[in-house]
Structure 1
Amino acid sequence: MRDRHNPYDHEPTDAEWVKSPFSADDNGSCVVIARFDNGDVWVGDDKNPSRPHLAFDQAEWTAFIQAIEARDPRFTA
C-alpha cells in the first residue's frame, strides 16, 4: 500500500503567496494562496498569518475549483 501524499509537507518559503484579486484590503476578507511545483495548494488568511492554513493536493484543489465553476450551491454564496 502506498503512503498517502501529504499536501502539508512543504516549507512555507518554497511558494509565493498571492492575494486573491477578489479580496479587498478594507473589508477583512483577505485570502492568500500558495502554489507548489507539484500542484499542492495552501489557502491562508493574510490578516492573521499565524492562523493555520488549509492544504490541498492537486486532485482535491481541482475538485474544489470545478465545484465552484459549476456553481454548485453548496460551494457558492
Structure 2
Amino acid sequence: MSEKHDPYDHDPADAGWSKSPFSGDSNGNCVIIARFPNGDVWLGDDKNPDRPHLAFDQAEWAAFAKAITSGSPDFTA
C-alpha cells in the first residue's frame, strides 16, 4: 500500500497566492488560494496571510468543490 502524500509538504515560497476575480472586496476579507502543479491546493486568509492555511490534495479539493457547487448544506455530498 502506498503512503498518502501530505498536501502541506510544499515550500511556502512556491505558493503563488491569488484571490478570486469575483471578489470586489479590497478590505482584506477574502479567501486566497494557492495551486500547485501536482493538484494540491492551499486556502488562506488575505487579511492575515501569516495565519496557518488549510491544505487539500487533488482528490480532497475535488470533493470539497463538488460539495460546495452542489449546494450541500453540510458538505457531506
Whether the TM-score (by the shorter chain) exceeds 0.5 is: yes
Unaligned runs of 5+ in 1: none
* Regions of 4+ moved over 3 Å: none
Contact 2:29-2:46 within 8 A present in 1 as well? no
Aligned length: 74
Unaligned runs of 5+ in 2: none
% identical aligned pairs:
68
Equivalent residue, structure 1, for 2:26: 25
Give me the TM-score of the superposition, normalised by structure 2.
0.84
The 5 A counterparts of 1:1-77 are 1-23=1-23, 24-26=25-27, 28-75=28-75
Say what the alpha-carbon RMSD is for the aligned residues: 1.5
How far apart are residue 22 of structure 1 and its match? 4.2
